[in-house]
Each structure stands twice: as structure tokens, then as C-alpha cells.
Amino acid sequence: MSALIFGLLALLLIGPVPNALSKAEWPKRAPRAALVLWQAVAIAAVLSAFSAGLAIASRLLVLGPDGRPTTAPLDEISVLGWPLWILYVLVFALTLLVGARLIVAAVRVGFHTRRRRSHHRMVVDLLDHPMELRGRPASASLRILDTMQPVAYCLPGIRHRIVLSEGTYSALDDAEIQAVLAHERAHLRARHDLVLEAFTAVYEAFPRVVRSKTALGSVRLLIEMLADDTARRVAGTTPLARALVACAGAHTPAGAMAVGGSDTLVRIQRLGLGGNNSRVALCAYAGAATLLVVPTVAVALPWLTEISRLLRSP
């Protein structure tokens, strides 16, 4: 029964729950809390999937002739029967497969992302325009590209870069430039790239037939909203909105985090909603805590009980 409950919970947290959460409007009023809730959903989905597999695998620990738990396949088959034993083994193997895919996805995403950023960082260092532009701040990480298209993005990492173009300085005034810089620095300071990597790894670990296609897009949008909030506090709402419009059509290289993008209109509309809602945020934090605590306790208690029983057996 516990395996069935955990399995259903994992399926809900992988597909229907992310789909419903991605269509909700309230995250726009509490993006930080919504991002925490998204993280809780992802962690709870992984925990539930592993819990279902482990609950099934625990049924393989049948008692042998001496009354102690045994892992001998022939003894297990004699107690469970062939059909049930094969089913339990397949479920346990599927659990191990998901775990292996999660590890491989995390390593692959991290490796490829850092390799792309390293290559692009070398390119922008070579193409950095040396001339002094209006309002260019003294920053060792800032790079200016010699192009008239408004471009603004950052390359996260230990050796991070903020990349702007001459067109950005031509199209924006000083306040709008400050909004752009504040936006990108918010990404770098909060390491939003690591959040995206974690979600990408979880997304790739589960089979395509059950995982949600909208989760990554929703998380990216929330991260941009958080950076927008920082930029709005630094430069104001109007300069930020103008900067978003100017940079909306800019091309963003793989692995970078840009001011503009396909969701610019949604972000500009959100700026007109006013500040964030603390009550909505509190409810989201409570939901995230519940998602993390309940599955953890539900997993820990049965396993502690089973271990205690096995230790007491003669």
C-alpha cells in the first residue's frame, strides 16, 4: 500500500501538479516563494519515486528458515512466488534506473553548460570593445561587444561575465543601463544558473511520458521575475520596463541568462501589478514545507520500524 501511495504521489508531482502550477497566476505576486515551492515539488517527486521503489524492494527481504531476513533469490521466490518476485525486482530495477539517470543528467548538464560558458567567455574577452562608453562602470567582469543591436546577458560561474553591446548604450539612458546591470548582477549573486541546472537534471531523469514540459519554462520565468524585482528596486519600474522592451529581441547564447527573451511581455505586464503579496508567499512557503516534511516522515517512520523489527528478530 505504501508503495502504491508513493508511486501515485510521484506521478502527480511529475506531471499534473507542475502543469497546474505553471498555469497559476499567483506566482507573479510571490516569485521567490513560488520558486521555493517548485523546488519542493521536484525534491518531493524524487523522494516519492525512490520511496515507492524501496517500499517494493523491502518486500524482497523475506524471513528465512532461521527467522532472519534473507536476500537469497530462491528463498524469496519460494515465499513470494515467481510473478510477485519478478514484479518486485523490476520495480526495484526501475528505481535504480531513475537514480542513475538523475546522476548522469546532473553530470552531463553541468559539464556541457560549463564548457559552453567557458568557450563563450573566451570569445567575449577577445571581442571586448576597449573604447570608453557613456556610463560604463569600472568592472572587471563587464564586456562590451561592437554591435548596434541591444544585447545584454550574463555568463554565470566563478569567472562570470556581464555582456552588453554598444547598441545597448545607444538605445538606453543611464537609469535603464543601471536596471540592466542590476538585473544581471542579481542572477550572478543568487546563482540562479544552479537552480536551472538542478531542474534540468530532474526533468531529464524521468521518462518523457510522465514528466512535465512546462516546469522548466515556469522556473525560468520565475527566476527572471526575481531579477526584475532587484532591478526595479535599484532603478525603478519605468527604466526597467523600457530596458526590457529594448532588449526583447536580442539573441541569447546557450548557457547565458539575458535581460530580454520571449517572456518579456509577461514580465512587463507583471511590473504593473505592484509589489509582491506576503500572504500568497506565506501560503506557498507552507505548501513547500508540507511537501518536504510529509514524504520524508512517511518514508523514515516505516523504515525505522522495519529496521527495529529486523534487529529484534532472533
pLDDT at 70: 61
Average pLDDT of the residues in 186-214: 83
Q: How many domains does the chain have?
A: 1
239, pLDDT greater than 70: yes
7-11, 160-164, 282-286, 309-313: which range is least confident on average?
A: 309-313
Neighbouring CB atoms inside 10 A of 223's CB total 21
pLDDT digits over 94-151, tens only? 778 878 888 898 899 889 988 999 999 999 988 887 666 555 565 778 888 888 888 8
- Which of 211, 17, 256 lies closest to 105, judged by CA? 211
pLDDT at 257: 87
Contact indicator for 51, 91 with CB cutoff of 8 Å: no
For residue 161, give Cα distances in angstroms to 35, 83, 128, 155.
25, 58, 11, 5
pLDDT digits over 38-57, tens only? 989 888 888 887 777 777 77
Supply the range of the domain harboring residue 112.
Answer: 2-312
